[in-house]
Structure 1
Amino acid sequence: MTSTISVTVWGEFRHEKKNPKVSSIYPEGMHEAIASALRRAPDLAVRTATLDEPDHGLPTDVLERTDVLVWWGHLAHQEVSDAVAAEVQRRVLEGMGLIVLHSGHYSKVFKRLMGTTCSLKWREATDKERLWNVAPSHPITEGVGDYFELPQEEMYGEPFGIPTPDELIFISWFTGGEVFRSGATWQRGHGRVFYFRPGHETYPTYHDANVQRIVLNAVRWARPTVRIKDSAPCSPPLEPLPPAPSS
């Protein structure tokens, strides 16, 4: 693998066109806010892709060159083609990293990889979110303290319909009393997956320094270590086999 990590930041780019509040916070789009923060890292080469581009901005040649895909979706999960979702899944199984943000928990891509409902409780109100770092030695939490707070965020609450994480990284508490497994990792095939909860479109979450640091850390953690395409070859024996018994 090369020393430069090729990152594709994918976003629907729908809220920003429909809701003036969202466009005032993210005038270039949420995907560009996320990408701009990542571009400050010299070891990353970052591009963006959006839903309404051909192949949703993810044709095969782009996915082939992507080391880590960052995904934000909400309004239009069902508009993502099954073919593109399957191609993303294939690349993760081969070794590509995947970072799924906020409402991307309901995306076709995440649900295919988790094999579960990925459902949860939610509330858009005036909740503060306190994210507790429960894996302080993990690369994803490098530079993050015991906890950090977002003054306003959409509430997500348990039960969260995900398979048991390989690693639990963050647990959130909300003003209304709920808790949520807000940062978790899985290995899927040869690829690494990280789900990170914060990122409701009407709050400036992706301008927060801690959130930006965590997404950057996660990209570096999720970078591929191998690229192994799926195959089912007929395999010759390594040692001579005894003769087959006569009938």
Structure 2
Amino acid sequence: MAGRPKKKPEYNPELQFNNFLQELRDAYEEAASLRSLADELNISLLKLRKLLITADVFTSDICTEINNLHQSGKKISEIMKLTGLSRASVHSYLPYTKGLYNATEISLNAERCRTYKIRQEQVRLLKETLSEENLWQAVIAFQEYPFKTATGLPFRYKLKVGKNGEYNRELLIDRREKSKSLAWSSVVLAFENSKRISEEVKKPKALGDIRGVSYIYPILWRFGLIRVPEAIEKKMGKQR
């Protein structure tokens, strides 16, 4: 008599969550700040902090105080009165407990962490060796990244895929009103010009009279290839 077919292994949410937390720990080690990592992963600062506390890689005086109060039996409303913090803020300083994080979010955020790590590595390689090939690999890695122009216009790009399945060297810019394309030759020209500039690049046109330079400017800045004025950095740096 034929044996019964084996059941598929059951989904293990705790294992998946622990794997995700490890991905997050790795990303946190690379991050310049909590805010920058939250922006890069496209999650709220409060949620990121809660996740990092759960991963046991973030703490602070207020975090310790809130957890001690909670462990002593204080209710959230009591902790709010004692600390002067909102309910959301108090919750953000307490770790997740089992069953409170769903599988879809775990998978999505783990993928975001992996993408973040790949992007960080490509930027490191590019800054180490300023070659066109390394620039191209960084451009591939940053597809669908939430950029902003110097005036604060949000945009993303993706690359065309040719019949052979490989990327064509053309960026398809998806912006608020409509889409446009950006030639790779324009990106390379701005990149080569940036190598000769040691001071702040005060505006996109300082990279040259190049078609689409308003989109190339924030890309080169995100790759760490140019410095820009603080006022422009604030407009380009908040990925929301």
TM range (shorter): under 0.3
Greater share of residues in strand:
1
Name the larger-Rg structure: 2
Greater share of residues in helix:
2
**Structure of greater relative contact order (alpha carbons < 8 Å, 6+ residues apart):** 1
What TM-score results when the alignment is normalised by the length of structure 2?
A: 0.23
